Amino acid sequence: MTATDADRRGSRDQTDWAGIAFGVTLASLIAYQQFKLPPVLPMLLERYGYDRTLAGSFMSVYAVAGLLLSVPIGRWLARHGALRGVAVASLVMIVGNGLSLLAPGNGWLMLAGRALEGCSFAVGAILGPAIVGGCASPRHRHFAIALVSAWIPIGQIAAGLAAPFALAQDHWQWLWYGGIAATGAVWLWGTALARRHAFGRGTAGRRMAEPPLSRREHQALLIGAGVFLLWSGQYYAYMTWLPQYLIEARALGPVAAVFSYLLPVVVLMGFNILTGEVLRRGVGVTLLLLVGVAAQALSWWLTPFAHSDAAGIALLIFYGIAAGITPTCLFALPGAILGRAAGPHAFAILMTGRNVGVLIGPILMAVLQQGHGGWGAVAPLLGVTTSVATAGALLLHARYRRDAHQARS
């Protein structure tokens, strides 16, 4: 296959592992930036007395930025390439972190800083998977997608492991200082890689070109975005407030709550990678997505029956398994729908759905806590949410099987 043929088909002969490592690191860093908040949120609430709806907005504002900017960013990246995207995302992230540190007692200023972080997140959330997909050969594509689909748990784990140090020092700001330093380092790394074209053909230069989407491809991506909306809404609702729940409802200390919070995240990351291997062996993306989302729904319907500590731990593990399967399939979905490496525009459609879910989930959970059902109303509501997502995954699987059958006949 010639280089031109590879470009036309959206594939490459050799895997660019340096580019893949960078794409995964970039995505994981922006996940760290978002998830550095939940482990120290109980401290922030106690110290600064934020309204809980406002505190939920510190997570959801990331989604507002993504919702408004994902599609324009996808088009901008297609025109200008990865290097400019990395530079802009890094600069905005550093400014956002700095703004949050200026006067943390002012909740609205903290929100403004998080909003700038969210703008940077919107760039990285598209750019990271697009770089990884473009740097992987067909042989390694599923493994590469599994790696990049673990960006959220990698970032969560990094933030969770750093949090006990910050809590012990009674200085939550250390998580923000670390984020600024890591962002600067990744910016320098990206510049060095781009200069020697390690992002792979078409991603480090001026353009990240991709063929136009057909109507049917666009419809399938929209359904996938709907599933991502519902799944991400319940995930971010749960993960934003889980440390607070463990402290208030389970009477754990702050450090114990952080480590309990990390349990499903560690399981999730392991199943991200395992799911990639299952996909590589030929199991269909849409079938595995259906299994993952259905298992997620089951975990919520079982939650009211988990009265003992042992049952609670088992349910956290089961939740992590289901939550590990689903995002790997969602990030592999554009490639499965298009039959080629997906570019930034396809990922932008998917990420728009995700961002709506992230917007709604944490704020809705805050509202439930403030006298509209309390913690007891969470599981049934999220059970309904993930059940609807299961119906969407079933529709997507049926369409995919029908299209595959028509292609063979």
pLDDT tens-place string over residues 301-322? 998 888 888 888 899 899 999 9
Tell if the pTM clears 0.85, that is, is over it: no
Low-confidence winner among 12-21, 92-101, 160-169 (lowest mean pLDDT): 12-21
For residue range 76-114, list pLDDT tens digits in order.
887 888 888 899 999 999 999 999 999 999 999 999 999
For the segment 55-82, the average pLDDT, to the nearest whole number, is: 84
Q: Does some domain include residue 367?
A: yes
The DSSP output letter for 212 is P
The DSSP output letter for 75 is H
pLDDT for the residue numbered 193: 85
Q: Which ranges of 203-214 would DSSP assign to H, the alpha helix? A: none
Q: Does some domain include residue 81?
A: yes
State the Cα–Cα distance between residues 157 and 163, nearest whole angstrom.
Answer: 10
Q: Are 285 and 336 in contact (CB under 8 A)?
A: yes
Whose structure tokens read 């079982």?
302
Question: Of 396, 149, 193, 393, nearest to 293 (Cα)?
Answer: 393
What total of structural domains would you count in the chain? 1
Could you give phi then psi for residue 112, rounded to 5 degrees? -65, -40
- More confident: 392 or 344: 392
Q: Are 22 and 328 in contact (CB under 8 A)?
A: no
Q: Which residues are within 8 A (CB) of 106 and not within 5 positions of it... i.e. 6 or more apart?
A: none
Torsion angle defined by CA atoms of residues 315, 62, 34 and 152, in that order, rounded to the nearest 10 degrees: 50
For the segment 161-178, the average pLDDT, to the nearest whole number, is: 93
Question: Of 343, 363, 378, nearest to 78 (Cα)?
Answer: 343
Q: What is the amino acid identity at position 50?
A: Y
pLDDT for the residue numbered 218: 83
Neighbours of 313 (CB within 10 A): 14
Q: Does some domain include residue 340?
A: yes
pLDDT for the residue numbered 9: 44
Q: Does some domain include residue 397?
A: yes
Whose structure tokens read 């491809």?
217
Could you give phi then psi for residue 200, rounded to 5 degrees? 95, 160
Q: What percent of the chain has pLDDT over 90?
A: 43
Q: What percent of the chain has pLDDT over 70?
A: 89
Q: Does some domain include residue 1?
A: no
Q: Does some domain include residue 64?
A: yes
Token readout for 280 is: 């590589």
Residue 5 pLDDT > 50: no
pLDDT for the residue numbered 367: 82
- Of these ranges, 66-70, 158-162, 256-260, 335-339, the one predicted with the greatest mean pLDDT is 158-162
Q: Does some domain include residue 84?
A: yes
Secondary element (H or E) of residue 141: helix 141-149
Average pLDDT, the chain: 85
Q: Domain containing 80: what range?
A: 14-408
pLDDT for the residue numbered 159: 94
Residue 203 pLDDT > 60: no
CATH code of the domain in which 138 resides: 1.20.1250.20
Question: Of 35, 128, 86, nearest to 351 (Cα)?
Answer: 128
The DSSP output letter for 207 is -
pLDDT for the residue numbered 6: 43
Q: Does some domain include residue 3?
A: no
